[in-house]
Structures are given as structure tokens and as C-alpha cells.
Structure 1
Amino acid sequence: MGHHHHHGHSHSHTDLKGRNLLISILLNIVITVSQVVGGIISGSLALLSDALHNFSDVLSLVISYVATLLGRKKASKNKTFGYKRAEILAAFINAATLMVVAVILMIEAVERFFEPQEIESNLVIWLSLIAILGNGFSVLLLRKDSEDNMNMKSAYLHLLTDMMASVAVLVGGLLMKFYQIFWVDALLTLAIALYLIYMGYDLLKESTKVLMLFTPRTIEVQEIVESICTLQPVKNVHHVHIWQLNEDEIHMEAHIDFKEDIKLSEFDKILEDIEEHVYHKHGINHVNIQPEFDKCDSKSIIVQD
């Protein structure tokens, strides 16, 4: 059996991610406390709903931060993959909390819509401005890392949606102040909730696929099998498994049936060709191949448990 892997890891980049997350956590704690106090004093459900979302941000950022720290830990004899899945698990939890918070907000909004209450709009306006500035700064801190890391994307989405929610609360505060349209508070809360579901669903789906060991959507198993079969000594490729371990690693294992009883040195050369091919064409950076010759098993089953 032969295996190989291509991967790299930057500790300085991980340290920077951790620092940015820590700054965002502290900012969101300040914003949450301010909004809870302000929401109770003003009577604004939109402000309290924004505070609830901000509190979920704090939890999600803490989860992301812990996952980033765990991701640095090395593999051991009883944890042979280390904590490489920690960030994917964090993304799943964060996406799920987005959906739960959204449902809670929708229930509250419907109840308030039928019983609108007078709200202290000045406090709502000032606190929403503070939240926009704080979350806006956090969004800028995490934006670059969110492009290629599912865990950072989940934290980024929490902050982005909260910034959007704060903008909505600000607009609502202005409408209440100048036009006394108090039902807009419930309407904006409902809009925030629907936006949370829209943003959280894709991330929940993608993180679930990784946790379930689904083949990445960019990879065509049949295409890989056919390309390996073009190598002269290869007779058949079967029992293929391809899965994504985390953001950086895609693994592949397969059985290869050879036409002849080749030498081990010949197999090593073929394995190297396969590794280079699947890495450069499909981004697979860990290959594990079981060579076979005249073995009595089904060669027609490409994918099997």
C-alpha cells in the first residue's frame, strides 16, 4: 500500500487569525451588553433581537477561536488526525445557531407586529450606530480569512449579518423618531431573521457535507478513475473513497488492479504519477493506493463501503 500527501501550514497566519478573532470577541461583548441595556430601557424588540444575535456572535467567535487553537495541535497515537476537523465542526455549530436565532426572532417579531409598542428611538439610533461601527471593524478584520476557511467564514457571516441587522435597526429608529411608525420595529426584526436563514443555510449545508465525508462537489470520481486507467500497467480502479478532511486537505484512497505482477519499484513510480496528476488536476493532496494483481474481488464496483 502506498500513500503520499502535499500540504503546508503557516503558524504566523494562524496566530493572526486568532488575534483578529479575539479583538472581534471583545468588541461584540461590549456591543451586546450595551444593546441589552438599551433594548430594555427603550422597549425596542429590534434592538433586543440585535443584542441576541450579537450574543450568538460572541459564542460563535469563541467557538471559532477555540477551534483555531485546537487546529494547531499535532496528531497523536490516539488522535491520528489531530484536531484538523475542529474548524469544520465550529462552522457547523455556528451555522446551526444562526438558524435557531432566526426562528426565535421570527416568533418574537410576529407577536410584536400585532401589538406594536412605543419605543425610545434616540437610544435605538445611537446604539445601532455603535454596533455598526464595531461590527464593521470586525468584518474588515475577518474578511480576507473568510475567503478560504469555512470556520472563519462562519464567524464572518455572523458579524456581517449583525452589521446588516444594525443598519436595519438604525433605519427603523429614524422612522420611529420622525414618523412614529412603531410597527416597523417588528417588520425589521422579521427581515433580519429571514436574512439569517438565507445566509446560514449554505454554510450549514457545506459543513454538513464535509462532516459526512461526502466527495467535494468540484471532484468527479469517474473522471479520476478514467484518467488513472490510461496509465499503461493499470487494469482497473475500484473501491474509491474521496473526502475532505478540513479546509486544506482532500484525501483519496483506492484499489488498483494491475495487468501484470509488477515490482514494488515500478509501483512507486506509478504511484508518484497518480499523486502528481490528482494533486494538480483535482487538488487531492493525500493519496492512499492499495495495489492488487489477480485478487478475487469485484473489480466493477467503483464506489463501495
Structure 2
Amino acid sequence: MHSHDEEQNQMTGSRFLFVTVLNSLITLVEFIGGILSGSLSLLSDAFHNLGDSASVVGSYYAHRISERPQNKFNTFGYKRAQIISAFLNSIFLLMISAVLIFEAIPKLFKPEQINGNLMLIVAVVSTVANLISTIMLNHGSKNNLNVRATYLHLLSDTLASIGIIIGGILIRLFGWNIIDPLVTIIVALYIISETFPIISKTIKILMQGAPHIDCYSIQKDLLSIDGVTGVHHVHIWSVDENSIMFSAHINMQDMMISDAEKIYDPITKLLHDKYNVEHVTLQAEVERGKKEDLFYDSGTDIK
């Protein structure tokens, strides 16, 4: 009998496989349609979908790697595989968007003749397929940067396809060929605006930046626990967006180690229940470091 995690992994795997196959088909259709119709926005969407397929495969592989247990080589496990995947996917999105803007700008001043009918047909098919893919990966995109980056790929393609439909209608009705590069630029700028927050968050995690937690509030809470007389040398960071780590030096009264352990338990429980900290490392001290700051700063390296 499979555990819940195994069943979840199988479901995620089947979704990733379905989305990969579907996006590969969309890419082929849009490449052919873009070449035959002369539509830059269709070709740009085809490149997006090509990137989506690679993104989905990379995201799923990173997801599987992140499930590996801790070992002597990676004592915190492999959770950051998904953060690296999200970062690389986002950088790839920025590169694609920059190239598309570079290609579209000259066409604003010299629009090319476009087959609006073919452009419209291909865009409708692409929109339906992209919408299905987006819905498939919508679950889990809010709590996982890796899935969110892939979801953003798919969402941007859905919006691009809708834009292409609007452009195809305008080209067919009024012959406004300038709409094609204009849609390309608008979608590319939207993708860039949505991608930067993911890059910022992944960089912060990879740089072991502190999550949005009030460390002075933690200090106050810990000092309210019986037996704790000081808190310093605090380090708090994230392995991924859901796993917060905490370490600190805790001043206590002079006592047996077995008695100190009894104070560790309420500290760990408080940090977990109130601040969602998953892993706690404490160093007990009596007077050592008692007058030092909450965050270690001696002008040298971490100690």
C-alpha cells in the first residue's frame, strides 16, 4: 500500500507527463502556424512553449531530487533542488522575453503581412491546450516556488495565446498588422514583471537570507521561558520556501545537561508552533556571550 506522499508524487508525475506531451504538441503546431502565417507572436509563443516543455521536465526532475533523504553528502537533504530549478526557469523566462522584445520592436515600425485567419485558428487551439496545462499545475503553485515558476511559464503562454486571438481578430477585421509585435511586447513585459519576484525570493533563499520573521519577538518569547536568561548568536534561514531553520546560543542557569534538555523542549515547541520553524539547533551557555548582540557580528566570519 502506497503512502500519501508516494500517491502525491505519482499524481504530480502524471500531471507533469501530461503537460509535457501537451506542450510539445502545442509547440509543433505553433511553429508550423507561425511560419505559414508570418506571425511573430505565434512564433514567440512557440518558443515559450518550447521553454515550457523544458521547464516542466526540469521542474519534475528537481521535485524528485528534492524527495531524496538526508545523507553524509547533503545533511539538510536535497530540498533546494526545487529552488535552483525555479531560479533557472525564471532566468530562462527573462532571456526569452528579452529576445522577443528585441525581435518585435523593429516590426512596430515596419509591420509584416500576416495571415490573420491561420493565426487565429492556431491561437484558439493553443489557448485551449495552454489553459488545460495551466489548470493541471495550478494545484501546488502557491506553496512551491518550483511549481510556481513552471506554472508562470504556462500562465504566460495562456495569456499570450489570448492576446494572439485578439490580435488575429483585429488583423482580420482591420488589417492592423502592428498588433502582432505589440502583443508580443506586452506579453513579454508582463512575464518579466511576474518573474522578478520569483528570482528575488530564490536568490534570498540560496543566499540563506532570513525569512520574514521578527527575531526580536522570538528573543522576547524565549526569554519568557523559565530557565532562559539570554539569547544571542541567532541564525535563521530557509532550505526552501517552506522549511525554516533556526540556531542560537541560549544562556541558562548553571545546571545538569539533563535539566537543560527539559528547557530545550518548550523552546522547540514554541518555535515550531508560533514561527513554523522545522529544525532547531541550540547551544546552552551560562555566562559566555551573555552581553553580546542577538546577531553575531565581530567584523569577521560566522562563528
- With normalisation by structure 1, the TM-score equals 0.93
Taking the aligned partners of 2:65 and 2:233, their CA distance within structure 1 comes to: 33
Aligned to 1:231: 225
**Structure 2 residue aligned with 1:153, among 131, 148, 151?**
148
Taking the aligned partners of 1:91 and 1:47, their CA distance within structure 2 comes to: 25
Aligned to 1:242: 236
Q: Deviations over 1:254-305 (max 9, x none)?
A: 01111x211222211111101111111111011000111233x463221123
Taking the aligned partners of 2:238 and 2:6, their CA distance within structure 1 comes to: 21
Taking the aligned partners of 1:150 and 1:301, their CA distance within structure 2 comes to: 33
Aligned to 2:299: none
| 2:270 matches 1:262 | no
Aligned to 1:221: 215
Give the aligned length.
Answer: 295
Taking the aligned partners of 1:232 and 1:96, their CA distance within structure 2 comes to: 49
- Report the AA paired with residue 279 of structure 2: H
- Report the AA paired with residue 153 of structure 1: R
In structure 1, runs of 5+ residues without a counterpart are 1-7
Taking the aligned partners of 2:242 and 2:111, their CA distance within structure 1 comes to: 50
Question: Is contact 1:215-1:242 (8 Å) kept?
Answer: yes
- 3-state SS in 2 of match to 1:240: strand
Aligned to 2:194: 199
Aligned to 1:47: 42
Runs (4+) of structure 1 exceeding 3 A deviation are: none
| 2:52 matches 1:57 | yes
| 2:295 matches 1:303 | yes
Question: Is contact 2:230-2:290 (8 Å) kept?
Answer: no
Aligned to 1:294: 287
Taking the aligned partners of 1:103 and 1:111, their CA distance within structure 2 comes to: 14
Taking the aligned partners of 2:75 and 2:269, their CA distance within structure 1 comes to: 24
Please show how residues 60-209 of structure 1 align to structure 2 within 5 Å.
60-209=55-204
Larger relative contact order, structure 1 or 2 (CA cutoff 8 Å, min sep 6): 1
Question: Is contact 1:18-1:68 (8 Å) kept?
Answer: no
Residue 11 of structure 1 deviates from its aligned partner by: 2.6
Taking the aligned partners of 1:152 and 1:95, their CA distance within structure 2 comes to: 11
Aligned to 1:251: 245
- 3-state SS in 2 of match to 1:181: coil
Question: Is contact 1:17-1:145 (8 Å) kept?
Answer: no
Structure 1 residues 215 and 179, CA gap change in structure 2 (3 angstroms): same
- With normalisation by structure 2, the TM-score equals 0.93
Residue 9 of structure 1 deviates from its aligned partner by: 8.1
Question: Is contact 1:67-1:87 (8 Å) kept?
Answer: yes
Q: Deviations over 1:164-192 (max 9, x none)?
A: 00000111011111111101111111101
